[in-house]
Structure 1
Amino acid sequence: MMGDAGQKEAEAEELFRSWGILPAENRTAWDLGAGSGIQSLPLARSGFRVLSVDLSSKLLNELSSRSVGLDLETKKADITDPSLYEGKCPDFLVCMGDTLTHLESESAVRKLFRLWGSFLESGTRLALGYRDLSRGKTGEKVGFPVRVERNRIFSCILSFEKDKVLVTDLYHEWDGNLWNFSTSSYFKLILPEAKILEWAGESGFSLLQQGESKGISLILFSRKG
């Protein structure tokens, strides 16, 4: 219900191409919070050796089944675990798909930047993609359809708090006789771009590219020498 996977992979491929992301040095790319591989698969197809990291075994298994013949390895791990950042660093580090907003606090995000800054070598590029929810006001509640099909409807309600947003997903599916309904709720952090730029800068990263696509903030950094 999040959209056509092939189309989203093509969009990721075009983004990386526009940023000039090509395999170099050790040809290794890490995709943190990889999910089902929207970023991992285009990187692997372009010649990178990809390490896809996620907490969901289900999504990683799905990614493995779709990456046959590609130089792609999956790893179930917490991206905030310092032990993940040992050994040789990749040429390219990706953390997209709203992964950052799912962390437990601003301090956890800031600590993660420090981990990246201490692990990555000079010239390593870091790509971030997340939804900046800072435009909402505390106490505001917003509802909207995410995707509507003939037999399925996926809607979302955002309830804004001081530093986070309560996200409630609503899913309706027609089985031929009646509409089945399910719902789930979880929090996302409010991460203004200004804070992301500040934390990246204090951790040794310089800004290369900055933009937005379909409400998603897209930022490319390079580790300073």
Structure 2
Amino acid sequence: MTTAQAHYDRLLATHYTWMLGGDIHAVARDQAALLQKLGIRPGADGDTAIDLGSGPGPQTLALAHLGFSTVTAVDLSRALLDELVEHAGTAGFSGALRTVLADLLDALPHVAGSGTAAAIVCMGDTLTHLPSPADVRSLLDSVACALRPGGHFVVTFRDLTGELRGDDRFFPVRCTEGQLLTCFVEYVDDDTVMVHDLLHSRSEGEWRLQVGSYPKLRLASDWLSGEARRAGLQVRHAAAGPRGMRILHAIKPPEGDSSPTSSARTAAGVT
């Protein structure tokens, strides 16, 4: 079975910014607005943030735009990290950026000391690329350890637990004059779907088809919220978000905070 990393290296990484709309800085501005509505902002000293599964960097750039003095971008794709460096230079954020080529499951203990990170994000459906629900639990434990008291964790993901049937399994991703990307999902078992990507590209008047598949986890929203609480985080916001995503925002309880970690509330102004 092809891994998500191999699929991105072979097919999607080259086209990832195009898939997001072609203007990474516009996407970064939208992500900065989302994070700001959730109350994600650095302190007076600038603070540090970590972007797990950064890709070409819309969230990394958003965190830098919000004023975090150091933003560490972690990804398994060297091509996407190199692209991120170029985008950061264009935006004037090179001094705030640190890139790390690593598996996000292994990265946190090496890029952040215990209780030091002001914000950790894992967005763009990256979480569902992990191999198993047990790996999601392990990541949440690492996040809780790396966050400082009062630190924020934000994740976006697709809840694929409701099985789609027939034509409902097909999704147009993006279409421009010379390129069309469509995907469809195949339900494998209770934990996994296979995502099949079909990329049509036109060159010199002829169309070329590239195909590839990779597995994604089926993560239920309630399950993920429960696992975040189990790891010791307070869930602040868990709701539907843009482009069919779910948003989970949690914090590490401030020192001396005795409020129950099971409480959840919706952040005002975020849908």
TM-score category of the 2 structures, normalised to the smaller one:
over 0.9
Gaps of at least 5 residues in structure 2 are: 1-17, 255-271
Distance 1:134 1:58, change over 3 A: same
Per the alignment, residue 77 of structure 2 pairs with 56
TM-score in terms of structure 1 length: 0.93
- Please tell me the residue identity of whatever aligns with 1:142: R
Counterparts of 1:14-25 in structure 2 under 5 Å? Answer: 14-24=33-43
| CA-CA distance at 1:207 after TM superposition | 1.1
CA–CA distance in 2 between the matches of 1:131 and 1:53?
A: 21
CA–CA distance in 2 between the matches of 1:206 and 1:140?
A: 39
Answering whether residue 105 of structure 2 is matched by residue 76 of structure 1, we say no
- Please tell me the residue identity of whatever aligns with 1:218: I
Does the aligned pair in 2 maintain the 1:144–1:156 contact within 8 Å? Answer: yes
CA-atom RMSD in angstroms: 1.9
- Stretch deviating more after TM superposition (100-109 or 160-169): 160-169
CA–CA distance in 2 between the matches of 1:154 and 1:97?
A: 17
CA–CA distance in 1 between the matches of 2:250 and 2:38?
A: 11
| CA-CA distance at 1:210 after TM superposition | 2.4
Question: What SS does structure 2 have at the residue aligned with 1:153?
Answer: strand
CA–CA distance in 2 between the matches of 1:22 and 1:117?
A: 18
- Please tell me the residue identity of whatever aligns with 2:251: S
Answering whether residue 30 of structure 2 is matched by residue 11 of structure 1, we say yes
Does the aligned pair in 2 maintain the 1:139–1:159 contact within 8 Å? Answer: no
Per the alignment, residue 38 of structure 1 pairs with 58
Answering whether residue 245 of structure 2 is matched by residue 219 of structure 1, we say no
Distance 1:168 1:209, change over 3 A: same
Question: What SS does structure 1 have at the residue aligned with 2:79?
Answer: helix
Aligned identity (percent) is 33
CA–CA distance in 2 between the matches of 1:123 and 1:140?
A: 45
- Please tell me the residue identity of whatever aligns with 1:160: Y
| CA-CA distance at 1:66 after TM superposition | 1.4
Question: What SS does structure 2 have at the residue aligned with 1:214?
Answer: helix
Match of 2:171 among 144, 165, 168: 144
- Stretch deviating more after TM superposition (179-188 or 205-214): 205-214
Does the aligned pair in 2 maintain the 1:138–1:160 contact within 8 Å? Answer: no
| CA-CA distance at 1:182 after TM superposition | 0.4
CA–CA distance in 1 between the matches of 2:88 and 2:46?
A: 20
CA–CA distance in 2 between the matches of 1:144 and 1:216?
A: 14
Distance 1:138 1:203, change over 3 A: farther
Question: What SS does structure 2 have at the residue aligned with 1:196?
Answer: helix
Per the alignment, residue 175 of structure 1 pairs with 203
Does the aligned pair in 1 maintain the 2:75–2:100 contact within 8 Å? Answer: yes
Per-residue displacement from partner, 1:78-121 (whole Å, max 9, x unpaired)?
11116436525210111111111000001110111112223323
Per the alignment, residue 198 of structure 1 pairs with 226
Gaps of at least 5 residues in structure 1 are: none
Which has the larger share of helix? 2
